[in-house]
Structure 1
Amino acid sequence: MLLEIKNLQLDFATPGGSTRVLHGVDLHVERGEVVGLVGESGSGKSTTVRAALRLYPQSASCTGTVNVNGENVLTCGEDALHSVRSREVAMIHQDPRGSLNPVRRIGDSLTERLVHVLGVDKFAARAKGTELLRAVGLTQPEKRMRQYPHEFSGGMLQRVVIAAALSSEPQLILADEATSALDVTTQAEVLSVLREAQRSRGLGMLFITHDLHLAAAYCDRVYAMFKGRIVEELEGNNLFAAAREEYTRELLSAVPSLKGQRL
């Protein structure tokens, strides 16, 4: 099991007392599998992902287990946690511009983890960064390494972020609305790049999205989340047909449709 979350509960301290935001979340991701996590805004999807890497304030209280390759992230020491964050797991965020320093060249941002975290020689790191940009479909990768984020389109930047995520050769990718800010054509291209990288490397992926049609087409399994709880688990290709829980059915029925309408 690559990622296994069991009975994950997260409480935040507030002036009025403790507030629970995750209520016994259970989910898992196998190696080579893409697992979707869907639900309305505020349902706890991103909070679950952040809690899985222990990215919450010290005032918060988290219980349960989050096993990444058998290592319980919630109880492991700092060295083990650093290894999980820097080597075994990579996150891809919704806004690529927010993930990159606007005053640093793409090459510097891309090789930073390789040099300072993994101890790779600067010249070897630059060569690997160039190859990664080529692998995610960017033309003239040597030139791109010298450019700044403002010289890239949103789709190109998302490819850079994917390349950066793959640089440490992780086993698990946490993709948090990784394509929602892109137009449909660019989204399809980026998803294709991500899928190819996932399949060729045998990675596991937890894919958070609001797009239910995308979840059905892209994911092997899908979890529906509501108010900090997993309410249903479904096969991706059977998402619309097999939903049994009332919340999941209501969520699916809210998807806009042009069926029966005149244009």
Structure 2
Amino acid sequence: MLLDINELHLSFVGGDEPAHILKGIDLHVAAGELVGLVGESGSGKSTSVRAALRLYGDEAEITGSIRVDGTEMVGADAATCRRLRAESVALVQQDPRAALNPVRRIGDSLAERLVRVHGKRRRDADERILALLTEVGLTQPERRMRQYPHELSGGMLQRVVIAAALSTDPKLVLADEATSALDVTTQAEIIAIFQRQIRERGLGMLFITHDLHLAGAICDRIHVLQQGEIVETLGRPGLFAEARHPYTRSLIESAPALERRAQS
């Protein structure tokens, strides 16, 4: 199992009483799986990802179990967490502009991790980045490597961030609202890239979104999150038909639908 979370509780210490944010989260992602984590803004989706990667400091109290590629993260030392974040798992963030240094060229930003963390020669790193930019569908990849983030559109930058995530050959990808700011056409293209990578590389992916219908169209299994608690888990077939929890039903029914006109 690439990601195995059991009874995960997260509280932030401060004030008179700790704030309980995550309440007994259970989810897992295996190789070749695309698993959805769905909920409204503030439900704890991104918090779950950051907790899984141990990105919170001493202000957070975490109990339960988080196993990434077989290694327990809860209680692990900083070196172990850094190694897993560098080698086994990659994060694709919602805002690609925030993930890239605005004053550095695309090629320099993407190659730095391969050179400094993974010890590759700069020439080898550049070749790897060039191949990945081509793989994720960027035109003129040599030119893109010489450009700055402000010179690329949002959809192009999202492809750059995906290439950066894939550059270290991770086993697990955590996609945190990675398509929510994109237009429908670009969103479909990014999702197709994700699906192809899962199919060809055998990646496991946790796809975090507020869009239940999008998750239902692409995910093997969906966890519905409300106020820091998974209230329902849906699997195929008959994903939406099997939804029973009122919150899940409200998410399904909140999607706009075109009125059907009576045929004359």
Q: Report the TM-score, using the length of structure 2 for normalisation.
A: 0.96
Write out per-residue CA displacement over residues 112-165 of structure 1, whole angstroms, 9 at most, x where no aligned residue: 110111111111001101111011011111111111111111110000000000
Distance (Å, rounded) in 2 between the aligned partners of 1:239 and 1:79: 40
* Residue matched to 1:99: 99
Query: Quick check: 2:22–2:228 contact (8 Å CA) kept in 1?
Result: yes
* Residue matched to 1:2: 2
Per mean C-alpha deviation after superposition, the further-off stretch among 159-168 and 14-23 is: 14-23
Give, in angstroms, the shift of residue 79 of structure 1. Answer: 2.2
1:15 and 2:1 matched? no
Identity score, percent:
58
Query: Quick check: 2:43–2:228 contact (8 Å CA) kept in 1?
Result: yes
Query: Quick check: 1:222–1:236 contact (8 Å CA) kept in 2?
Result: no
- SS of equivalent to 1:21: strand
Pair 236,175 (structure 1): closer, same or farther in 2 beyond 3 Å: farther
Write out per-residue CA displacement over residues 39-65 of structure 1, whole angstroms, 9 at most, x where no aligned residue: 111111110110000111311110000
Query: Quick check: 1:217–1:237 contact (8 Å CA) kept in 2?
Result: no
- SS of equivalent to 2:241: helix
Give, in angstroms, the shift of residue 259 of structure 1. Answer: 3.2
* Residue matched to 1:142: 142
- SS of equivalent to 1:32: coil
User: Which stretches in structure 1 are left out of the alignment for 5+ residues?
Assistant: none
* Residue matched to 2:255: 255
Aligned amino acid, residue 192 of structure 2: S
* Residue matched to 1:174: 174
CA-based RMSD of the aligned residues comes to 1.3
Per mean C-alpha deviation after superposition, the further-off stretch among 239-248 and 154-163 is: 239-248
Query: Quick check: 1:215–1:236 contact (8 Å CA) kept in 2?
Result: no
Distance (Å, rounded) in 2 between the aligned partners of 1:29 and 1:257: 32
Distance (Å, rounded) in 2 between the aligned partners of 1:57 and 1:252: 36
Aligned amino acid, residue 167 of structure 1: S
Query: Quick check: 2:213–2:252 contact (8 Å CA) kept in 1?
Result: no
Distance (Å, rounded) in 2 between the aligned partners of 1:85 and 1:236: 31
Q: How many corresponding residue pairs?
A: 262
Aligned amino acid, residue 179 of structure 2: T
Query: Quick check: 1:2–1:31 contact (8 Å CA) kept in 2?
Result: yes
Pair 261,66 (structure 1): closer, same or farther in 2 beyond 3 Å: farther
1:163 and 2:163 matched? yes
Give, in angstroms, the shift of residue 85 of structure 1. Answer: 0.6
Give, in angstroms, the shift of residue 245 of structure 1. Answer: 1.4
* Residue matched to 2:41: 41
Distance (Å, rounded) in 1 between the aligned partners of 2:237 and 2:185: 22
- SS of equivalent to 1:115: helix
Distance (Å, rounded) in 2 between the aligned partners of 1:11 and 1:236: 33
* Residue matched to 2:112: 112
Distance (Å, rounded) in 2 between the aligned partners of 1:238 and 1:178: 26
Matches within 5 A, 1:54-133: 54-133=54-133
Aligned amino acid, residue 14 of structure 1: G
* Residue matched to 1:207: 207
Per mean C-alpha deviation after superposition, the further-off stretch among 57-66 and 163-172 is: 57-66
Pair 74,261 (structure 1): closer, same or farther in 2 beyond 3 Å: farther
Give, in angstroms, the shift of residue 237 of structure 1. Answer: 5.1
Query: Quick check: 1:8–1:66 contact (8 Å CA) kept in 2?
Result: yes
